[in-house]
Amino acid sequence: MYRLLIEDVLRDLPVVVSGRRPTKLGVLVEEARAARPHYHNQRNIKAVKDACARLTEALANYLPQIAAEANRLLAQFGDLGMTFQLQPPTVDYDERWGFRSFTGQKLELTVQVYNHGPDEPQHFLNEARLSALALAIYFAAARVALPPGIPGAPAPARTMLLDDVLIGLDHPNRLPVLQMLQQEFADWQILLLTHDRVWFDLAREYTEHTGRWTYLRLLEMQTVPGQPTRPLVLEQQGSLLDVAEKHLNVGDLMAAAVYIRAAFETRLRNVCEKFGVEIAYKPDPKEVKSDKLWKGIVKRQQARRADGHVDFIAPQLVQDAETVRSTVLNQLSHFGAPNLATKDVRFALDTIQELVHHQFTKVP
């Protein structure tokens, strides 16, 4: 972790150490490296040890701040029951013949999971917790190293590229990370990449209401047979239902129905994840079909009504959605061209639009 965090992620961290003007952590790292002597006389050894002492002082002063910020952000990832500490290292130079190298370039990480402290967290924690821990440290380092600008001054450029880093998180823990990014990094430009189409649709449905995101698809386009393909970037204007509306307006009922179904399935996945709707277990979330998701929501509705609680979903919306499933959506699963009617597709579009904006009732 030392080289990754200290020499890379935190290289632009502003620091103040004794006897120096404000500088950056990366400068202190380079000064220590540059001071490594070719000739081991008393003067040169003192110079490298002084540089190591300044670096050690900076790490002791600022690493606890990184850990505190990371633990604050980690609490927003969901109920992981996990905290951690970073032990600042003591960087030094061993001038003895046969050694003559830097020492102490190692970060000690201690983790507590529900008050249990595993000796080897990298072997004890599951992939979701390891991913959450790494992301929390990275996000904290980014916030501390590039703090908000001075009020009234031009905002500094802050860009974050996240390339499939959420795949290691369980699906219920990905949405809290999206929410955290929108709240904690509202003034950053965030590039969130994924190869997972299901996650792409979920993230899109979750963030569309903010109006702050642009959605792009990267496709592979064949140019000349036998020659390498080239990338094609397409911007998806509007939501899935907006695309369905465009197809419906030109009479392409089949295409409209496909996009309506995609919007329906995406909404169901988000609702089931957000409200903990029980469904039949599948190792791969992609294998959970919309029929299972919908039946889980209907079952939650029936249980709520049987217990005398407020409806989970509006009863009329349940009835309308059942009609849409039978008249439009289920026809796409049958062999041959579906027999669709314009009024049925329009009703399906309006119903799923209502479902997308419907406020589901939380458990009392």
Beta pairing, strands 23-24 & 82-87: unpaired
60-81: average pLDDT: 92
**Measured CA angle at 11 (ends 25, 126), to 5 deg:** 115
Q: What letter would DSSP give residue 9?
A: I
pLDDT of residue 93: 94
Question: Which tens digits make up the pLDDT trace of 244-284?
Answer: 999 999 999 999 999 999 899 888 888 887 888 887 766 56
Tell me what the pLDDT averaged over the chain comes to.
87
Q: Which of 88, 131, 67 is nearest to 122 (CA)?
A: 131
Query: What are the pLDDT digits (tens) for 187-236?
Result: 899 999 998 887 888 788 788 778 888 889 888 888 888 888 888 888 87
Supply the pLDDT for residue 168: 79
Which of 305, 306, 282 is closest to 361 using CA atoms?
305
Question: Is the Cα torsion angle 52, 58, 61, 62 positive or negative in sign?
Answer: negative
Alpha-carbon distance of 17 to 14, in angstroms, equals 10
Report the percentage of the chain scoring pLDDT > 90.
Answer: 41
Instruction: Provide the CATH number for the domain formed by 239-357 in this structure.
Output: 1.20.120.330
Q: What is the pLDDT of residue 363?
A: 61
Could you tell me which residue, 130 or 202, shows the higher pLDDT?
A: 130
| Those residues with Cβ within 8 angstroms of residue 96's Cβ, 6 or more apart along the chain or in another chain | none
Q: Among candidates 42, 52, 59, 51, which has minimal Cα distance to 6? A: 59
Same fold across 1-147 and 239-357: no
Nearest to 217 by CA among 238, 231, 205: 231
More confident residue, 304 or 14: 14
Structural domain spans, the chain: 1-147, 239-357
- For the purposes of burial, counting CB atoms within 10 Å of the CB of 230, is it exposed (0-12), middle (13-18) or buried (19 or more)? exposed
Contact 84, 67 (CB under 8 A): yes
More confident site: 157 or 81? 81
- Alpha-helical runs (H) found in the chain: 2-4, 25-34, 42-74, 121-124, 127-145, 171-184, 197-207, 240-249, 253-275, 290-306, 315-327, 342-357
* Radius of gyration from C-alpha coordinates of the chain: 27
pLDDT of residue 340: 85
Q: Is 163 helix (H, G, I), strand (E, B) or coil?
A: strand
Q: Are 44 and 25 a contacting pair, CB within 8 Å?
A: no
pLDDT at 204: 83
**CA trace torsion 224, 226, 228, 234 (10° rounding):** 50
Which CATH homologous superfamily contains domain 1-147?
Answer: RecF/RecN/SMC, N-terminal domain (1.20.1050.90)
